Amino acid sequence: MSLLKTAAKKIKIVLIALFSMALFLAPVPASLHILYMLEEKERSASPPKNTALSAEQVVANARSLVGRPYDQFMGGKDNLGKKLGGIVCIDVVNTAYKRAGICFERELRSVFRKTPEYFSYRSWNNPWDRNFARRVRNFRAYCRAKDLVFYDEKKLKPGDVVIFGTGHIALVDTVSENGFTVIEAAGKKYIALRAHRDELYERNIERYGKPIFARILKE
């Protein structure tokens, strides 16, 4: 039975990988069609103006990303992966909040201008770079500059973010006495998915260290 489960898991991973490759290698017309559909989906999911921002809304936006392919180019190749609908870990947070009314591209640039000492400025990492808001290191700096960081896992709420060093970030989906779940885009999983705390920690603590937490929404 265990052999069957292992085989099924491997087949699933192969199918996901093939799907991702097909997406990235699709002819230009097909790729544009896919991108158009994704943009239409994002527009339809955008909140009406003057709607109060809520954690439920942010989480719902993040859940709609589950199943999206991971951007294996991670912003490289002239952002080819993003153009074809792929996402990296921070895109889950950026997209979920942007659809709810908070644009971190603008927020990060604004905070950088006011408190540049929190950011790691490099020739390749500056607020004029198109991938500035797609880097975990900059989101982490933003949270520190805005005093949004906390360290007690028991205080987590849906809509909060979990940040591992400068390498990975996930959005909190649910919280219970058994821990919490997140929505994340993980490279080794090939797609955006829902994961339990234990799995999240197992994959990231050894590589990036213990996480910090941040709450974007005011109580």
Q: Residues 27-75: pLDDT tens digits?
A: 434 433 443 344 444 443 343 343 457 899 999 999 999 999 888 766 6
Predicted confidence at residue 36, as pLDDT, reads 36
**Residue 119 forms part of a structural domain:** yes
219 falls within a domain: no
- How far apart are alpha carbons 4 and 21 in whole angstroms? 26
Render the burial of 135-159: b for 16+ CB within 10 Å, e for the rest. bbbbbbbbbbbeebeeeeeeebebb
Number of domains within the chain: 1
Structure-model confidence comparison of residues 218 and 3, the more confident one: 218
| 103 in any annotated domain | yes
Q: What is the 3-state secondary structure (H, E, C) of 102-169?
A: CCHHHHHHHHHHHCHHHCCCECCECCCCCCHHHCHHHHHHHHHHCCCEECCHHHCCCCCEEEECCCEE
Does 182 reside within a domain? Answer: yes
* Predicted confidence band of residue 6 (pLDDT cuts 50, 70, 90): low
pLDDT at 123: 82
pLDDT tens digit sequence for 138-179: 999 999 999 999 999 999 999 999 999 999 999 999 999 999
Longest dimension (CA), the chain: 59
Give the whole-number percent of the chain exceeding pLDDT 70: 69
Residue 207 counted as domain residue: yes
For residue 191, give the 3-state DSSP assignment. Answer: strand
Give the integer Cα–Cα distance in Å for 9 and 12: 5
Residue 14's pLDDT band, with cuts at 50, 70 and 90, is: low
What pTM does this model have?
0.74
Q: Is residue 86 part of a domain?
A: yes
Q: Is residue 74, in this structure, part of any structural domain at all?
A: yes
45 neighbors 96 (Cβ within 8 angstroms) = no
- The domain in which residue 40 lies consists of 2-45+53-214
Query: In terms of Cα–Cα distance, which of 16, 3, 112, 147 is closest to 70?
Result: 16
CATH of the domain at 98: 3.90.1720.10
Give the helix, strand, coil percentages of the chain, each rounded to 5: 55, 15, 30
> What digits encode the pLDDT tens for the residues 94-148?
999 999 999 999 999 999 999 999 998 888 888 888 889 999 999 999 999 999 9
Q: Is residue 99 part of a domain?
A: yes
